[in-house]
Amino acid sequence: MSNSNQQPPKRFCLVLIKPSHYDDDGYVIQWLRSPVPSNSLAVLHGLALDCARRKVLGDNVEIEIHPLDETIARVHPTRIVSLVKGADAGMVMLVGVQSNQFPRALDIAAVLRERGIMVAIGGFHVSGTIAMLKERDRDVWRAEEMGVSLFAGEVEGRLDRVLQDAANNKLQPLYDFMDDSPDLEGAITPFLPADIVKRAFGNTSFDAGRGCPFTCSFCTIINVQGRKSRSRTADDVEKIVRENLAQDVHSFVITDDNFARNKNWEGIFDRLIYLREVEKIDLKCSIQIDTGCHRIPNFIDKARRAGVKRVFIGLENINPDNLSGARKNQNKITEYRKMLVDWKRAGAMIFCGYIIGFPHDTLESILNDVRIIQSELPIDIIEYTCLTPLPGSEDHRKLYEAGIPMDADLNRYDVNHVTIAHPLMSREEWETAYAQASVNYYSDEHVATVLRRCVATGTSPGKTMSNLVWFRGNTEIEKAHPVEGGFLRLKFRRDRRPGLPTEPPWIFYPKYAAETLWKQFQWMSLFLRCYFILRKVIKDPQQFEYNDLAITPVMEDEVETRELFQSAEAHSYLVKIQQVEKLRHGTAA
Ligand code: B12
Ligand code: SF4
């Protein structure tokens, strides 16, 4: 048959946008470079590529995909309208939209919907509120009103249908798969193109599994992804690694909330060990785990051999009453040091999440806890967050159902803002405690201590110093939470939150230039200060003999000697666990 009779292929334009959110001044938070790429975007992009390859819209339709991570790329809604209208058909997907990103997502959607573009939105805010609330959340309802299609649940195995509905102009108002979580074994693998990965300092991300068995009341994950571990296989993970090695990407952020409870953790580690030790492939990764992971036989040792260089641990608090109030009973303060020392021995850089604003916290208790952590626990980096009733969590549902006031602006649900009242602290005290905890932890003196511990235990002091600078600088200089921080803040005059005035050029540009120069100056001086601390530490002839309360091996009498166990709350916790131990061994409590 002659080619001249064939129709040229039709183009379906699919734009995938992972939105950012607004800063306190109403400008979109964006950077020239930002270290953690969006796994939600990687997942949707991987699935969309698969749909394009399989030609799910028909043999004569090419699906062209445009992934955009707004944290590192400017989103021009009007240009996107032209892009979609320039094709034969198309749609925009707002992906992985968290609660704090929902207002920004709606602002993008509004422009697109006004111009007749089909838009669908999914991610934790839609899924979490649909899972937990009896009524429709106010902002989700606004999306529906605009004619935005909602997607609740996970899209593996379901993207064909959404795309086909869009191609037939029959996008449904709601796709609800909350009761039917897909199996991840053999699922299409997440993938981000090299140009996005480069802007994330060469890191890419993938989720090796979803779901967590625990029941923390502030957590959304268990209500959205469930409590049963669903995992990718070792073969899937090898495929992800090889696809990325092919584009010269060697650094992976594994985004499972709790990789230690991934049912395939061992098989996945064994495969990574094979790649590193037998095939001599240079790869490294970061994982998130819980505080009980050191009790899993071989976990830490295999993590080390699999190239785990950074671990994120949900320590959350050192007050047992706060932990049990949040049903985080798996966090046992008596085991913190053993677990941390084991990771130190494995040479990993330790990042701990720490929540500020639990009901028993006061300004004084928080600063006292920071001091105890500094002297007794071998943590490298602390990531502070404000206790936030995140939509999708049990905390949020309870407050919502009880009619207790919560901040109405979802943009503030970024765990960097106070959004509820506290029983013991005023809002100002809570905000002061949150800011001061960071200032105190990242003091020059403590930076020196952390670096000394690194040298003595075999973690890279240079890399740790860079992370200390990063966390301190993003908090103090950029006023951004470090995990959503970046290098060189970008601001666009016209990208301001609706409702706030567009500043005239003669005010905006000089202010932005002065602010940028001042910030770079502060970054430079912070870097140099920490660099000189590092030099002093590594020039110390006694550097390898350094020892202190935090890195010394765990001893029997610690509950009597360490300040960590001297509070009234710690005392009653110790009594309780001693009673449990006695019962377990058959003696009367
Ligand atoms: C890795 C991670 C990060 C990474 C990367 C972000 C990312 N999304 O990849 C970093 C470190 C940057 C990060 C930062 C933050 N994060 Co975060 N993060 C996670 C984590 C642990 C994994 C994300 C992930 O990969 N999920 C897997 C993906 C595939 O799931 P998904 O996004 O839901 O997408 C699926 C479906 O929803 C659906 N879908 C999604 N979008 C769409 C769109 C359409 C159209 C369709 C059809 C389908 C669809 O398909 C996907 C595949 O099935 C989650 C918890 C979790 N388990 O998800 C928290 C989580 C998303 N983060 C959260 C928060 C609060 C934050 C921060 C605000 C605060 C902080 N300090 O941590 C910042 C925000 C910064 C930012 N710009 O994203 C909350 C959000 C809660 C909420 N109600 O909004 C979560 C749920 C954790 C928690 N504490 O409860 N995070
Ligand atoms: S351990 Fe982490 S992921 Fe699991 S329920 Fe608690 S907060 Fe959620």
Handedness of CA 348, 349, 355, 360 (dihedral sign): positive
What is the amino acid identity at position 250?
H
Judge whether 296 lies within some domain: yes
> Which value, in Å, is the radius of gyration of the alpha carbons in the chain?
25
Taking 50 as the threshold, does the pLDDT of residue 167 lie above it?
yes
Judge whether 188 lies within some domain: no
Tens digits of per-residue pLDDT, 397-453?
999 999 999 999 999 999 999 999 999 999 999 999 999 999 999 999 999 999 999
Tens digits of per-residue pLDDT, 474-518?
999 999 999 899 999 999 999 999 999 999 999 999 999 999 999
Does 72 contact ligand 1 (Cβ within 6 A)? no
DSSP tag of 27: B
What is the amino acid identity at position 479?
K
Long-range contacts of 278-281 (CB under 8 A, 24+ apart): 281/241, 281/245, 281/250
Q: Average pLDDT in the 271-290 region? A: 97
Which residues, at least 6 apart from 234, have a Cβ–Cβ distance to it below 8 Å? 264, 267, 268, 270, 271
Report how far ligand 1's centroid is from the alpha carbon of 385 (Å): 16
Query: Which tokens sit at 445?
Result: 């003196």
Report how far ligand 1's centroid is from the alpha carbon of 246 (Å): 26
**Which band of pLDDT confidence, cut at 50, 70 and 90, is reported for residue 3?**
very low
Report how far ligand 1's centroid is from the alpha carbon of 86 (Å): 31
Does the pTM surpass 0.85? The reply is yes
Judge whether 551 lies within some domain: no
Give dist(CA 338, CA 295) in Å, integer.
Answer: 10
What are phi and psi for residue 287, nearest 5 degrees? -135, 160
Nearest CA, atom 7, ligand 2: 219
Give dist(CA 387, CA 385) in Å, integer.
Answer: 6
Question: What is the chain's mean pLDDT, rounded?
Answer: 95
**Which band of pLDDT confidence, cut at 50, 70 and 90, is reported for residue 202?**
confident
Provide the CATH number for the domain around residue 143.
3.40.50.280
pLDDT for res 188: 95
Same domain? For 252 and 385 the reply is yes
The pairing of strands 30-33 and 487-490 is antiparallel
What is the amino acid identity at position 474?
N
Same domain? For 328 and 445 the reply is yes
Do the Cβ atoms of 367 and 442 come closer than 8 Å? no
Instruction: Look at residue 138 and give its three-state secondary structure.
Output: helix
Among 222, 292, 288, 224, which residue's Cα sits nearest to residue 254?
Answer: 288
Does 385 contact ligand 1 (Cβ within 6 A)? yes
Long-range contacts of 156-161 (CB under 8 A, 24+ apart): 156/47, 156/182, 156/184, 156/187, 156/188, 157/182, 157/187, 158/182, 159/44, 159/47, 159/48, 159/51, 160/51, 160/54, 160/56
Tell which of 176, 209, 237 closes a domain: 176
DSSP tag of 31: E
What are the distances in angstroms from CA 187 to CA 132, 233, 240?
Answer: 27, 9, 11
Report how far ligand 2's centroid is from the alpha carbon of 398 (Å): 18
DSSP string, 560-587: HH-GGG-SHHHHHHHHHHHHHHHHHTT-
Same domain? For 502 and 571 the reply is no
The pairing of strands 119-122 and 209-210 is unpaired
Taking 60 as the threshold, does the pLDDT of residue 303 lie above it?
yes
Do the Cβ atoms of 171 and 149 come closer than 8 Å? yes
CA geometry: angle at 286 spanning 281 and 291, to 5°? 135
Longest dimension (CA), the chain: 90
Same domain? For 208 and 154 the reply is no
Provide the CATH number for the domain around residue 444.
3.80.30.20
What are phi and psi for residue 234, nearest 5 degrees? -60, -35
Domain around 22: 10-176
Give dist(CA 400, CA 413) in Å, integer.
Answer: 15
Tens digits of per-residue pLDDT, 115-137?
999 999 999 999 999 999 999 99
Same domain? For 393 and 449 the reply is yes
Tens digits of per-residue pLDDT, 97-111?
999 999 999 999 999
Tell which of 176, 210, 230 closes a domain: 176
Report how far ligand 1's centroid is from the alpha carbon of 5 (Å): 47
CA atoms within 13 A on the CB side of 513: 5
Judge whether 186 lies within some domain: no
pLDDT for res 588: 52
Same domain? For 578 and 506 the reply is no
What are the distances in angstroms from CA 2 to CA 5, 8, 10, 62, 464?
Answer: 6, 13, 19, 21, 64
Give dist(CA 377, CA 380) in Å, integer.
Answer: 9
DSSP string, 76-103: -HHHHHHHHHTSSEEEEEE-S--GGGHH
Same domain? For 485 and 582 the reply is no
pLDDT for res 586: 73
Give dist(CA 230, CA 191) in Å, integer.
Answer: 19
Give dist(CA 247, CA 270) in Å, integer.
Answer: 23
Among 308, 385, 298, 300, which residue's Cα sits nearest to residue 340?
Answer: 300
Report how far ligand 2's centroid is from the alpha carbon of 258 (Å): 7
Tens digits of per-residue pLDDT, 49-76?
999 999 999 999 999 999 999 999 999 9
E strands present in 402-455: none
Same domain? For 129 and 85 the reply is yes
Nearest CA, atom 3, ligand 2: 257
pLDDT for res 174: 98
Tell which of 150, 176, 202 closes a domain: 176
- Region of residue 347 (phi > 0: left; psi between -120 and 50: alpha; otherwise: beta): left
Q: Average pLDDT in the 343-353 region? A: 96
Taking 80 as the threshold, does the pLDDT of residue 247 lie above it?
yes
Ligand 2 pocket at CB < 6 A:
212, 214, 216, 219, 221-222, 257-258, 290, 314
pLDDT for res 1: 41
- Which ligand 2 atom is the nearest neighbour of the CA of 213? 4
Same domain? For 534 and 575 the reply is no
Give dist(CA 259, CA 263) in Å, integer.
Answer: 9
Report how far ligand 1's centroid is from the alpha carbon of 390 (Å): 12
Nearest CA, atom 90, ligand 1: 220
**Which band of pLDDT confidence, cut at 50, 70 and 90, is reported for residue 584?**
confident
Among 477, 474, 509, 507, which residue's Cα sits nearest to residue 491?
Answer: 509
Same domain? For 120 and 224 the reply is no
Instruction: Indicate the number of domains in the chain.
Output: 3
Judge whether 340 lies within some domain: yes
pLDDT for res 463: 96
Give dist(CA 554, CA 347) in Å, integer.
Answer: 17
- Which ligand 2 atom is the nearest neighbour of the CA of 261? 4
Does 369 contact ligand 1 (Cβ within 6 A)? no
pLDDT for res 2: 42
Among 86, 151, 139, which residue's Cα sits nearest to residue 117?
Answer: 86
Nearest CA, atom 30, ligand 1: 40
Judge whether 5 lies within some domain: no
Does 20 contact ligand 1 (Cβ within 6 A)? yes
Same domain? For 309 and 342 the reply is yes
Instruction: Look at residue 425 and give its three-state secondary structure.
Output: coil
Give dist(CA 521, CA 565) in Å, integer.
Answer: 42
How many other C-beta atoms are found inside a 10 Å radius of the C-beta of residue 273?
Answer: 16
Query: Which tokens sit at 134?
Result: 């009896």
Judge whether 311 lies within some domain: yes
Same domain? For 122 and 206 the reply is no
Do the Cβ atoms of 19 and 105 come closer than 8 Å? yes
Give dist(CA 76, CA 238) in Å, integer.
Answer: 36
Among 92, 118, 87, which residue's Cα sits nearest to residue 8?
Answer: 87
Tens digits of per-residue pLDDT, 14-43?
999 999 999 999 999 999 999 888 999 999
Helix and strand numbers (H, E) in the chain are 21, 16
